[in-house]
């Protein structure tokens, strides 16, 4: 069969090294491949030809599988950047860059659920099939053109991931603004206690004590009288409300390892930066 010529533009050297590793050095199914560089109009074309003359469809399927792995890593950044400019042009450039980073982490994360893993495999198999269909009809592929015009289903999935990344970015942005507001408020407050001890109980409630380890009087919790009894706070947001109102100079969190919601401890540490000591048990 005719050798397959792959035009990869500026990424040709990277692709050549990838193919060199995957096809020649590793040798898929014991087969060997021959790679050649060819310069054409300022772009590097990579020629990939199997030395043994066997079933051409086996060659195409193997090459398609390797190229699919390459495309889902090398071209994700370009595609995500296009999506960001097209769908979120109203955002600032630095905001779009942060969102792209979030999306890339989502694509690359190793600790995925079974559902995410299935979607990832489906995404790869879709591209492999598209590549095989194309290479069975043509012996020359221009990768950027293929990505642009024949990977629309994959681009649609990337758009969904970008939508998710935008939501995550906005949530984090709102959280950071919330933390900044609370931090400013705490700095303006006059401390009501030198030190407050917060003890995380096994039932997820919190007991609060002053610097002398005396339980803080119930008068501090009158606003939430129906939510607590005997100086015990049942809800996490009420604990933060109390701490902000009391504005202690120092906070000691006991049994920190028993706090299921790690964001709670992180929020307290950020709002009361430099004032918090966490004791695991």
Q: Which of 89-103, 133-147, 148-162, 213-227 has the highest mean pLDDT?
A: 89-103
Positions of E strands within 134-217: 140-142, 195-200, 206-209
pLDDT for 40 beyond 80: no
Positions of E strands within 214-275: 232-233, 250-254
The residue assigned the tokens 């109980």 is 201
Per-residue pLDDT tens digits for 75-103: 888 899 999 999 999 999 999 999 999 99
Pick the more confident residue, 204 or 33: 204
pLDDT for 151 beyond 80: yes
Find out whether 195 and 250 touch, Cβ atoms under 8 Å. Answer: yes
The model's pTM: 0.72
Q: What is the pLDDT of residue 85?
A: 94
pLDDT for 205 beyond 70: yes
Pick the more confident residue, 46 or 77: 77
- Give just the sign of the alpha carbon dihedral 217, 220, 222, 224: negative
Q: What is the pLDDT of residue 202?
A: 84
Q: What is the pLDDT of residue 251?
A: 95
Integer-rounded Cα radius of gyration of the chain: 29
| Number of C-beta neighbours around residue 238 at 10 A | 16
Return d(Cα 140, Cα 146) in angstroms, integer. Answer: 11
Find out whether 205 and 262 touch, Cβ atoms under 8 Å. Answer: no
Q: What is the pLDDT of residue 42?
A: 46
pLDDT for 229 beyond 50: no
Lowest mean pLDDT among 8-17, 99-108, 134-143: 8-17
Instruction: Indicate the pLDDT class of residue 34, thresholds 50, 70 and 90.
Output: confident
Q: What is the pLDDT of residue 43?
A: 61
Instruction: Indicate the pLDDT class of residue 275, thresholds 50, 70 and 90.
Output: very high
Q: What is the pLDDT of residue 12?
A: 81
pLDDT for 168 beyond 90: yes
How far is C-alpha 30 from the chain's CA centre?
A: 37
The predicted model gives 66-73 an average pLDDT of 89
Pick the more confident residue, 218 or 240: 240
pLDDT for 147 beyond 70: yes
Q: What is the pLDDT of residue 182?
A: 92
Instruction: Indicate the pLDDT class of residue 20, thresholds 50, 70 and 90.
Output: confident
pLDDT for 127 beyond 80: yes
pLDDT for 30 beyond 50: no
The predicted model gives 153-169 an average pLDDT of 93
């Amino acid at each position: 069969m005719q050798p397959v010529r792959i035009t990869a533009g500026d990424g040709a050297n990277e692709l050549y090294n990838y193919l060199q590793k995957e096809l020649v050095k590793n040798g898929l199914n014991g087969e060997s491949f021959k790679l050649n560089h060819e310069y054409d109009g300022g772009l590097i074309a990579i020629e990939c030809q199997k030395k043994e003359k066997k079933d051409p469809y086996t060659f195409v399927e193997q090459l398609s599988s390797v190229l699919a792995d390459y495309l889902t890593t090398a071209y994700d950044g370009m595609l995500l950047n296009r999506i960001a400019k097209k769908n979120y042009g109203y955002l600032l450039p630095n905001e779009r860059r942060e969102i792209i980073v979030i999306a890339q982490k989502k694509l690359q994360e190793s600790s995925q659920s079974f559902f995410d893993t299935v979607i990832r495999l489906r995404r790869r198999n879709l591209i492999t099939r598209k590549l095989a269909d194309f290479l069975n009809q043509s012996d020359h592929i221009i990768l950027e053109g293929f990505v642009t015009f024949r990977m629309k289903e994959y681009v649609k999935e990337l758009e969904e991931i970008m939508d998710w990344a935008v939501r995550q970015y906005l949530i984090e942005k709102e959280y950071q603004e919330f933390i900044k507001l609370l931090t400013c408020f705490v700095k303006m407050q006059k401390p009501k206690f030198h030190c407050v001890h917060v003890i995380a109980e096994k039932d997820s409630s919190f007991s609060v004590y002053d610097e002398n380890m005396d339980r803080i009087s119930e008068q501090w919790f009158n606003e939430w009288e129906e939510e607590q009894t005997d100086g015990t706070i049942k809800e996490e947001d009420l604990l933060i409300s109390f701490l902000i109102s009391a504005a202690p100079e120092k906070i000691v969190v006991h049994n920190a390892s028993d706090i299921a919601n790690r964001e709670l401890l992180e929020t307290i540490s950020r709002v009361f930066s430099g004032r918090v000591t966490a004791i695991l048990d």
